Amino acid sequence: MTIAVHLPQSEHGKRFCQFFDHRYSFIEANLNGEERPEWKTISAYPIEHRNLWNRFQDPDTLIGLSFGSSAHYALIDIDRGSPYHPYNDEAAFKRLLGAYEDVGFNDHLLLQSSWSEGIHLYLPLPRSVPTHKLAVMMKLTAVRAGFIVKDGTLELFPNAKPYSKDKPTPYKAHRLPLQVGSYLLDRNYDPYSDSIKTFLDQAERAAEAQDIELIETAIEAAHQAKAFRYIKGDGNKAAAFRRDLEEQIAEGWTDFGQTNDLLRIIGTYGRVFEGLEGKALADYITTTAQGLPGYREFCRHQHHIGNRAKEWARCIEKFYYPYGSDPIRVGTFAEMVDKGAKENKVNEERQMSAIDRIKRGVEFLKEKLSEIPKRVGEMKDALINAIVELFGVRPSDQTLSRYREFWHPDIIREVEIIILEETPQLEETPQFDALDIEPEVPPADAPQEGTSPDILQPETLPEAEHSPCHTPPAVAGQNGQSAESLNPVPEERPSVYATPPLYMKVKAWASEQVSLIYQGNSVFSTVSIEGEKRAKVQSIEQNEQVIITDHTHSSFLFRQDDEENLLVYVKPLNNDQSWLTGIPVLAKYLQLAPDG
């Protein structure tokens, strides 16, 4: 008898239930504002597909799932206060990504887990693997790379748990994505979507990008390494382990389907007892395998044995230590936080230096060239050459992409247009009424026409002509000027109205609710909407008409001297939904609308 699976009617719901497919030992919680949810584990019965989909869509409920015997994704949970969170130490976060990329995870999905601003990192797989082996590999990969795995710092799902035949324990459950406070994040850690369809589409693409053969190799290597990855001082244990490996290697191939096991065993021996690493370990695996009995007859990987040896060498090196060596020390939590703070300061200084080089490179091109290149590629090449000429260093493509607002030809032209539009017009020379200002009569000893004006002749004031004034007599005497010289004299050059700084414009625009045009790239953020229980991801598009809102939170209140980075919150002038909050944009990309 086949039990019917009652999937939701919605296509998105069906895909959702097929991706998150384990139904036992689920967790749930009621949403109580911004308070920490009180999770309850429900193990008495499984949750049905339709119930799961309905709970997931309920804005007043939180739901989470565990894992079964097989899994097709892994999840990394990093709290906001963790030293590995990108806001605290982006370099450490990227090292973590690199550690998992080394074992085959080439792509991932990055999410904000909740309003607490924690990070959820999903690693989808193209096919299912044994859950307990995946859990061991995830943990050993992190530990071997120098990371501390513990709740609140770095939490892994599925979790590596002790095996118990008599009383099996379930895997820990995790909160499902894109519930209240959860959003997909872009590479700058900004939210851009809360759509489950987008999540599932990207999960499929990420799964296709993974090197599943390398991942499965790492999984098997980690599983075998769990018991013997670190041996020091115990001669009997080391001798027994060495003897077991040598016996298996000596026997070689006796049938098909033994290649991966033998490459792993050879690599383990080379790493643990020969102390090899890198290319030396890969070469050792290749040479040893090719000399074993049965290799020609039963090994079906002879055409790429070198590549398979390299993959096994990479994985084994991550999970085994040479015999007698000390494992890597990761340091205390406090040491990691301090290290992260120092690295963040260094990173910030590097970023400012990079931006300064880009700005000076652009100025160099403006002076050197009659016209800035209009094509992005040409401008990029010209800027690279300029920075190399000025500073002797070549900026990376990643750096130029990150700070494109400082050199992109479209943005530069936009800024120049704004400058031209805002250049003040000269006033006509002011006309003074002869009745108001009497012509000044030059003193008798003043230079006459035809004489050199370079030699100044100070005027001597008769003491009897002093009149009471606010200028102290001593100062007046030093100035050597008559009372008549205090009268205003017409300027020979016209006066110019100074352009007000940007922060003053922003204050005026905000207070008057002036209509503006946003001319930057599209930006996404979460917005509270009237009548909605949860915030939604919205966008401000290029050339959209907007007004400033939430101006009391804008950065011009405390960053008046940094016009490049002034942030203001805006919302569309005409929108169907009633936004209660705005989206932050750079104020430099705002200008008056034609009817503003």
Whether residue 151 is found in the same domain as residue 282: no
What is the mean pLDDT of the segment spanning 531-558? Answer: 73
Q: Output the pLDDT for position 35.
A: 67
Lowest mean per-residue pLDDT among 44-53, 110-119, 140-149, 478-487: 478-487
> How many Å apart are CA 426 and CA 589, to the nearest integer?
26
Where residue 416 falls among pLDDT bands split at 50, 70, 90? low
Is 572 part of any domain? yes
What is the mean pLDDT of the segment spanning 166-191? Answer: 87
Whether residue 330 is found in the same domain as residue 368: no
Is 479 part of any domain? no
The count of residues in the chain is 596
Residue 562: pLDDT above 90? no
Express each pLDDT in 223-252 by its tens digit. 877 655 555 555 677 788 888 889 889 989
Whether residue 183 is found in the same domain as residue 295: no
Long-range contacts of 579-582, Cβ-Cβ distance < 8 Å, separation of 24 or more: 579/527, 579/528, 579/529, 579/530, 579/538, 579/549, 580/527, 580/528, 580/529, 580/530, 581/527, 581/528, 581/535, 581/549, 581/550, 582/527, 582/548, 582/549, 582/550
CA distances from 149 to 155, 174, 215, 216, 346 (A): 6, 16, 20, 22, 26
Whether residue 263 is found in the same domain as residue 355: no
Whether residue 48 is found in the same domain as residue 181: yes
Whether residue 349 is found in the same domain as residue 330: no
Kind plus residue range of the DSSP H or E element containing 570: strand 567-572
Whether residue 383 is found in the same domain as residue 290: no
Whether residue 194 is found in the same domain as residue 292: no
Residue 467: pLDDT above 60? no
Is 502 part of any domain? no
Q: Looking at residue 233, what DSSP letter applies?
A: S
Is 471 part of any domain? no
Residue 176: pLDDT above 90? yes
Q: Output the pLDDT for position 342.
A: 52
In the listed set 323, 339, 355, which residue is the last one of a domain according to the structure? Answer: 339
Q: Output the pLDDT for position 436.
A: 46
Whether residue 178 is found in the same domain as residue 128: yes
Residue 484: pLDDT above 50? no
Is 421 part of any domain? no
Domain count, the chain: 4
Q: How many C-alpha atoms does 15 have within 13 Å on its Cβ side?
A: 13
Do residues 406 and 380 touch, judged by C-beta distance below 8 A? no
Q: Give the pair of three-digit tokens for residue 116.
A: 């607490």
In the listed set 289, 317, 339, which residue is the last one of a domain according to the structure? Answer: 339
Whether residue 312 is found in the same domain as residue 372: no
In the listed set 290, 322, 339, which residue is the last one of a domain according to the structure? Answer: 339
Q: Which of 201, 209, 213, 321 is nearest to 259 (CA)?
A: 213
- CATH code for the domain in which residue 160 is found: 3.90.920
> How many Å apart are CA 64 and CA 534, to the nearest integer?
18
Domain span at 19 = 11-227
Is 458 part of any domain? no
Is 267 part of any domain? yes
Residue 404 class from Cβ within 10 Å (0-12 exposed, 13-18 middle, 19+ buried)? Answer: middle
Whether residue 61 is found in the same domain as residue 158: yes
Query: Token pair 């509270």 is at which residue?
Result: 528
Is 450 part of any domain? no
Whether residue 267 is found in the same domain as residue 177: no
